[in-house]
Amino acid sequence: MDAQPLDGKVAIVTGAGGGIGRVYARGLAEAGAAVVLADLTTGSAEEGAAEIAAAGGRAIAVTTDVTSEESVAELAAKAAEAFGRIDILVNNAALMAEIPAGDGLTGIALDMWNKVLAVNLTGPLLCTRAVVPHMREQGYGKIVNQSSGGAFTPSGSYGVTKLGLVSMTLSLARELAPAGIRVNAIAPGFTNTDAGLRSTPPEYRGFIEMTVPFPFGEPDDLLGALIFLSSHASDWVTGHTLNVDGGWIPRT
């Protein structure tokens, strides 16, 4: 594969202010893409864009609320205005550590349930709808949804939304194939980020260490899958959810 397989491409990453999203943005830039870092927190996204620019890449930050149709429309417009096209969308923004632990599906407050659905499931749909006209016009595009290994285990409202995103990936892959748009997902395992650490109690980490072949990963461990699904190397792959989890979720 080329050292910069995304040279000339333009990518949008939501939730790019920190954690996995920040690493995704940097990895896409290192692979040659111009990157739009979208985040609800302006300062952190601007810091990420500045880091990419300092390393010789091209990047801008756009304050974005993925639950707002108007906000994501503005995101797409600013990306196209800055770089002339949109080739890649990474739907990474999500709520996880913010969800109260222990409530379960029967105990979660309805306003929190609706917020989790809005960010984790409606957000990717709105962002997809905003970029599809640009991708359709050029006859090509890559959409990568950030699911989770939690989609395939009992994980409360978070798992419900992440499994819904797997289903959305399948539906969009079929729907958008005639336009030359591929839609896939990554399902990370236990990743050492601030959100991941806050969501995994110490006693559960011990269980993970005993049961998962390679129990904990770093955000950089996800970059190979992201670059593959964002590049021409995966042009014959669509509707697929790729587990990158150290062997946590066995699937057939």
Residues marked as catalytic: 158
Residues 155/120, Cβ–Cβ less than 8 Å: no
Torsion of CA 76, 96, 185, 14, to 10 degrees: 20
Residue with tokens 């709520």: 95
Q: What is residue 115's three-state secondary structure?
A: helix
Q: Which candidate, 134, 125, 229, 248, places its Cα nearest to that of 190?
A: 248
Q: What is the Cα–Cα distance from 163 to 246, expressed in whole angstroms?
A: 19
Q: Which candidate, 77, 92, 87, 125, places its Cα nearest to that of 13?
A: 92
